[in-house]
Structure 1
Amino acid sequence: MGAISPLGADRLSTFAAALAGRCAIGPATPEIAKWLPQVLVAPAAVDPRSLLDNCHAQLDRATQFALVAAKEALADAGVAASPDGARRFGVYVGIGFGGAQTVDALYTRLHNTLQNGQGNRSPTVVHPLSVPRMMANAAAATVSMQYGLRGPSNTYSVACASSAVAIGEAFRAIRDGYLDAAVVVGTEAMLTPGAMLAWNALRVMAKPDAADPARSCRPFALNRSGFVLGEGAAAIVLESEARAAIRQRAAFGELCGYGCSSDAAHLTAPSSEEQVVAMRQALAQAGLEPEQIQYLNAHGTATDAGDVVEAQSIRTVFGQAATRLAVSSTKSMHGHLIGASGILEFVLSMMAMNSGSLPPTATLDTPDPRCDLDFIPLTARHGCEVSAIMSNSFAFGGSNVSLVARRC
């Protein structure tokens, strides 16, 4: 597994910060703040360029994040470039808005050129690789080329569920015999003026907390006001049990359940009925009962309707076992990474299962009575026995994904 997030430059520092309850939320850059002075963001802990070779400096920021996370995951798995069986080793990527930085820079250049009347400079002259940089599959293509992975290179853009879908579809490909292994990446880098203006218009962005802006994203809290956009990437290496046995590599766990459904009802309003379907599908595929899940990483975006509906969905699925289930939303700390959220939260869940330490909903000081589950408020929980986890991702557009993993 690998990660570069608002909480850290790699997966270990990211998980440590999550357990510490550190919120990586702060004011936007001046380019954004001049239009949206109240908007908050969760930027990556480090510039991805500082972790890459100079030849990657001109790639879109989302692709740079993907390379950093994939590099850590592949090294962690002991996979070298052009591995044995490269034609059966795929690349699966989830991203919400491919090339946001490149697109924003193009329109900024066009606007400035026309506005300032810069002599004979033509606004139509742009970098010849602008399209390859901004295309949604740029990250998948770059990771594939960097590591000589010749299996399918697939990209999924399903809003907030993008990388969770990528995990699930890679899982299916390996389970059904089409691949032996895949590196799955979720990446996002849309902290740009244009993207932030669009998100702000949806009225789903958190209002700054007067006492501590870093704690402004409050999932499942009575005083929640929305989410904060973040950026970064996470990656995992999936492989068949047979391939792992041949390589004699110990795994973090077994991905064993993938459920997905569509609301077919509304672009932004969630549906409890279909969230329930996705979670039950994942449990059934894993062959697990609800009481066998000890930790659930919730989608938990801190929107009024979203949190209540998800809490209801969890209680419907888990029934009496819901009283013993530990749940948290780590978006309270790292923000909402849209296309990268699903896989980052899955990575944190896997680390929680392996360590027995559960990350908190770090800003939950006043719970909403309508969200009546154990949301691990304020501080992490240690010394827990966790044999199986669930991670939920519910997207605008009505796409619902639930992933289940257990100890090997």
Structure 2
Amino acid sequence: MRRVVITGAGTVNALGLTVPETYAALRDGRCGIGDLDVRDVERLSIRIGAQVRGWDAEAHFNRQQIALYDRFTQFTLHAAKQAVEQSGLEFCGELSMTSGVVLGTAGGGVNTWDENYRVVYEEGKNRVHPFVVPKLMNSAAASHVSMEYNLRGPSFSVSTACASSNHAMGLAFQMVRSGAAKAMLTGGAEAMLCFGGIKAWEGLRVMSKDACRPFSADRNGMVQGEGAGVFVFEDYDHARARGAQILAEVAGFAMSSDASDIVMPSAQGAERAITGALRDAGLNPEDVGYINAHGTGTAANDKTECAAVAHAFGHHADRLMISSTKSMHGHLIGGTGAVELLACLMALNEGVIAPTIGYQEPDPECALDVVPNVARQAQVDAVLSNAFAFGGLNAVIALRKL
């Protein structure tokens, strides 16, 4: 088994269009949630979200590319460019043949779906653009990234609701660790903040109309976000031989299924994923200093997750920091784990633990150190990132400082 490290990171999300901008916002406890700017917003009952503000597709892509790239693909390519540039890799020759891309997204080209449903049903037209299907398909972003960087190894997309990015990154990790790939671009993206995407989530009645307050007793639901996070996972020996900057080691990964309910989470399923990731990484509970929680701001998730963490970590749970950055960048659904991994890298590399903002009132069923409202300076050597999706699909990643 080979060791796997992260040598590049990129993002676009409601907190920033780059990793440094995102770190600055996380350190400051800045909220990226605000009033939605979407067509027909007056017909929505939920009118807040963590939108990527000031996104100018024409500043990054030409007209022909924009005709092919849904918003989630645009975000992905922007983040991938940052990650590849930071890694310093050039994918040619043998490296091209042994590198690939695995990305997570729950909805894929939701904006494209929305726009073309309008064309057919609202405007009454009988024809749509010939590239609608390649633009909206979930695998579009993975395909365009592979073409952009000449990645000729394993390349595909993963769709497991809110755990999509963690599953994608876990699979990329396993491919590099097994020797099936030398390097992988991985992460995920989502862009559901359009009328249809928001209206669908309204139906679940889990959305907040004012703020995302994970773990706070007065929480009232989740808030959607959008964006992307992309990373370069690389064979450690390969990275070391070329003198690459190493951001962290991907130490372990585990996944589990609740096999119980399509929307209600299970503490037992979540715990099995947490303990599995620790075991895979060779970590003891006391080795972990921080967890980036799934932390959606719903009572069902927050209480279940805290119970799972408390049981998995035992006495060490009292000394563990756990925060939900969804309180700042919103819930990116399939892309959320990718953006949240940035908070884990910040904890390892900068000694800054991102806070859970909007925390107002302690919940006795969430009696953990949730790093309320203000970021904290702390040195940690190992961290976990949790993702627990509808359908009981759980995925947990462990990172370690080198």
- Tell me the TM-score normalized by structure 2: 0.95
After superposition, residues 247-326 of structure 1 pair within 5 angstroms as 247-326=242-321
Which residue number in structure 2 is paired with residue 33 of structure 1? 41
Deviation at 1:50, TM superposition (A): 4.9
* Distance (Å, rounded) in 2 between the aligned partners of 1:82 and 1:51: 27
For each residue in 1:55-78, what CA deviation from the matched residue of structure 2 results, as whole angstroms up to 9, or x when unmatched? 432210000000000000010101
Q: Is the 8 A contact 2:189 2:334 kept in 1?
A: yes
Which residue number in structure 2 is paired with residue 134 of structure 1? 136
Match of residue 388, structure 1, among 375, 379, 382:
382
Structure 2 counterpart of 1:199, one-letter code = W
Match of residue 231, structure 2, among 225, 230, 236:
236
Which residue number in structure 1 is paired with residue 196 of structure 2? 194
Structure 2 alignment gaps of length 5 or more: 1-8
Q: Is the 8 A contact 1:48 1:61 kept in 2?
A: no
Deviation at 1:248, TM superposition (A): 1.4
Deviation at 1:352, TM superposition (A): 1.6
Q: Is the 8 A contact 1:15 1:348 kept in 2?
A: yes
For each residue in 1:172-210, what CA deviation from the matched residue of structure 2 results, as whole angstroms up to 9, or x when unmatched? 1111111111000310001111111110000010122xx
Which residue number in structure 2 is paired with residue 66 of structure 1? 76
**3-state SS in 2 of match to 1:237:** strand
Which residue number in structure 1 is paired with residue 66 of structure 2? 57
Tell me how large the CA RMSD over aligned residues is.
1.2
Which residue number in structure 2 is paired with residue 11 of structure 1? 19
Which residue number in structure 2 is paired with residue 23 of structure 1? 31
Structure 2 counterpart of 1:41, one-letter code = G
Which residue number in structure 2 is paired with residue 147 of structure 1? 149
More divergent stretch after superposition (179-188 vs 39-48): 39-48
Q: Does 1:102 align with 2:112?
A: yes
More divergent stretch after superposition (273-282 vs 346-355): 346-355
**3-state SS in 1 of match to 2:317:** helix
Q: Is the 8 A contact 1:92 1:140 kept in 2?
A: yes
Match of residue 405, structure 1, among 388, 393, 399:
399
Which residue number in structure 2 is paired with residue 369 of structure 1? 364
Structure 1 alignment gaps of length 5 or more: 115-122, 209-215
Deviation at 1:37, TM superposition (A): 4.2
Which residue number in structure 1 is paired with residue 169 of structure 2? 167
Q: Is the 8 A contact 1:32 1:196 kept in 2?
A: no
Q: Does 1:339 align with 2:334?
A: yes
* Distance (Å, rounded) in 1 between the aligned partners of 2:171 and 2:339: 17
Moved over 6 A (4+): none
**3-state SS in 1 of match to 2:264:** coil
Structure 1 counterpart of 2:72, one-letter code = A
Q: Is the 8 A contact 1:81 1:146 kept in 2?
A: no
Q: Does 1:219 align with 2:219?
A: no
Deviation at 1:355, TM superposition (A): 0.3
- Aligned length in residues: 392
Percent sequence identity is 42
* Distance (Å, rounded) in 2 between the aligned partners of 1:32 and 1:364: 31
Which residue number in structure 1 is paired with residue 100 of structure 2? 90
For each residue in 1:353-405, what CA deviation from the matched residue of structure 2 results, as whole angstroms up to 9, or x when unmatched? 110011100111212111000000010002x1110100000001110111101
Structure 2 counterpart of 1:234, one-letter code = G
- Tell me the TM-score normalized by structure 1: 0.94
For each residue in 1:290-342, what CA deviation from the matched residue of structure 2 results, as whole angstroms up to 9, or x when unmatched? 11000110000000111000000000011110111011000000000011101
* Distance (Å, rounded) in 2 between the aligned partners of 1:40 and 1:329: 18
Which residue number in structure 1 is paired with residue 180 of structure 2? 178
* Distance (Å, rounded) in 2 between the aligned partners of 1:289 and 1:51: 47
Deviation at 1:219, TM superposition (A): 0.2
Q: Is the 8 A contact 1:69 1:185 kept in 2?
A: no
Which residue number in structure 2 is paired with residue 213 of structure 1? none
More divergent stretch after superposition (29-38 vs 82-91): 29-38
For each residue in 1:150-177, what CA deviation from the matched residue of structure 2 results, as whole angstroms up to 9, or x when unmatched? 1111110000000100000011111111
Structure 2 counterpart of 1:78, one-letter code = G
Structure 2 counterpart of 1:396, one-letter code = F
* Distance (Å, rounded) in 2 between the aligned partners of 1:197 and 1:142: 29
* Distance (Å, rounded) in 2 between the aligned partners of 1:133 and 1:388: 39
Deviation at 1:137, TM superposition (A): 0.3
Q: Cα gap change, 1:33/1:53 in structure 2, threshold over 3 Å: closer, same or farther?
A: closer
Which residue number in structure 2 is paired with residue 47 of structure 1? 55
Deviation at 1:109, TM superposition (A): 0.9
